[in-house]
Structure 1
Amino acid sequence: MNEASPLLQLRDYRPGDAAAIAAIYAHYVRTSVCTFDFEPPAAAAMAEKFAAMVKKGHPVVIGEVGGEVAGYAYASDFRPRPGYRFTCEDSIYLDPEMTGKGYGALLLGEVIAKARACGFKQMIAIIAGGIESSVRLHERFGFTTLGVFPNLGHKFDRWIDIVHMQRAL
């Protein structure tokens, strides 16, 4: 982490975090291909989604700087069928003002540890092609690229590849 960066405090998700999470996610919906959502979900929808993960015992980690939500990460169901119950997919989002400070690595490290502790055995990362910083981050944590699906998504009038990565927990 950059020594000039304020310290990121990690904690578990609380229902009051939903508005900040929705605001962070909305930025990426509007400006990035890292999500294929076209309309940002409301805070109530995010609260419902995150409450469902917490109810299942899945890790949802919040990163705070100065008492404000700076980012979040979670690991939850890769697929809904019971045969996939030991496999999770991770997701990490940072406030755009908080990128480049090492916070993504802190969040990913914590969510990996918590996913292992709750019984997941494999973690999948699904990353839009061209987002090399996310690919490199996952490689630093032992993920390997399984394959690239060309032109799998479409957003902002262009086709986007999808990179699938995996690591054992």
Structure 2
Amino acid sequence: MIRTIRDATEQDLDAIARLYGHEVLNGTATFELDPPDPREMRRRFEVVRRHRLPWLVAELDGAFAAYAYASPFRPRPAYRYGVEGSIYVEPAARGHGVGRALLEALVERVRAMGLRHMIGAISDSDSSAASIALHRAVGFREAGVYRQVGWKFERWLDVTLMQLDLAPDGGRPEAPGLDLTGGLA
């Protein structure tokens, strides 16, 4: 299989919205209960782009297989060096290295921006062992667990927080960080 990682475009938004909508309705990777409409997905895409953060798409043999993006971690200025990564993989594309390739590409793009930390918030800790293992394999460490913070599918769900230090020397930031005045996704 030929795997391609590239920047997402507006032409990808229908496929992105379909995959995300499937996860909203059938999975626990997101705590949303109703799939966002196409206009809302476009707004989220534009917010990520306004922050000049990466939104990537993976293809297998030329077909849409997954997407990942980075968004500002929190709105306060002191958090301007941290982002949260999100990744969604089509069920048929799982197990083909797509998730790892996307996550590694996302990490490298964010690191090149001079940012300091990437956070992964992995919901449904009990059934997300593969996602937790993927993050560990890329260098993330567990930072904690929010216990029973989400109610979906008639049960309580945990969120495992994982963190990757992009500049482990701990030195003074050289880049200005994110401009958080434009709102968050």
Q: Give the TM bin, normalised by the shorter chain.
A: over 0.9
Choose the corresponding residue for 2:66, options 50, 63, 71. Answer: 71
Summarize deviations over 1:7-28 as a string: whole Å, max 9, x none. 2101111111111000011111
Q: Output the aligned Cα RMSD.
A: 1.0
Q: Distance in 1 between matches of 2:80 and 2:2?
A: 34
Q: C-alpha distance in 2, partners of 1:45/1:69?
A: 20
Partner of 2:121: 126
**What is the aligned partner in structure 2 of residue 135 from structure 1?**
132
Count of residues in correspondence between the two structures = 164
Q: Where do residues 1-169 of structure 1 align in structure 2 (5 Å cutoff)?
A: 6-128=1-123, 129-130=125-126, 131-169=128-166
For the residue of structure 2 that corresponds to 1:16, the secondary structure is helix
**Structure 1 unaligned blocks of 5 or more:** 1-5
Unpaired runs of 5+ in structure 2?
167-185
**TM-score normalized by the length of structure 1:** 0.93
More deviation in 59-68 or 80-89?
Answer: 59-68
Partner deviation per Cα, 1:59-114 (whole Å, 9 max, x = no partner): 11111123322101111101111111100000110111111111000000000000
Report deviation, 1:55.
1.9
SS at match of 1:153: strand
The amino acid across from 2:137 in the alignment is R
Higher relative contact order (CA 8 A, sep 6+): 2
Separation of aligned partners in 1, 2:56 and 2:156 = 31
Which shows bigger deviation, 106-115 or 74-83? Answer: 74-83
Return the offset for 1:33: 1.1
Mean alpha-carbon deviation: is it higher for 58-67 or for 91-100? 58-67
What percentage of residue pairs aligned between the two structures are identical? 38
Assess if the C-alpha contact under 8 Å between 1:11 and 1:63 holds in 2: yes
CA displacement at 1:118 relative to structure 2? 1.7
Where 2:95 maps in the other structure, the secondary structure is: coil
Q: Does the 8 Å contact 1:24/1:96 carry over to 2?
A: no
1:34, CA displacement in angstroms?
Answer: 1.1
- How far apart are the structure 1 equivalents of 2:146 and 2:60? 36
Structure 1 counterpart of 2:78, one-letter code: G
Provide the rounded CA distance (Å) in 1 between the counterparts of 2:15 and 2:83: 24
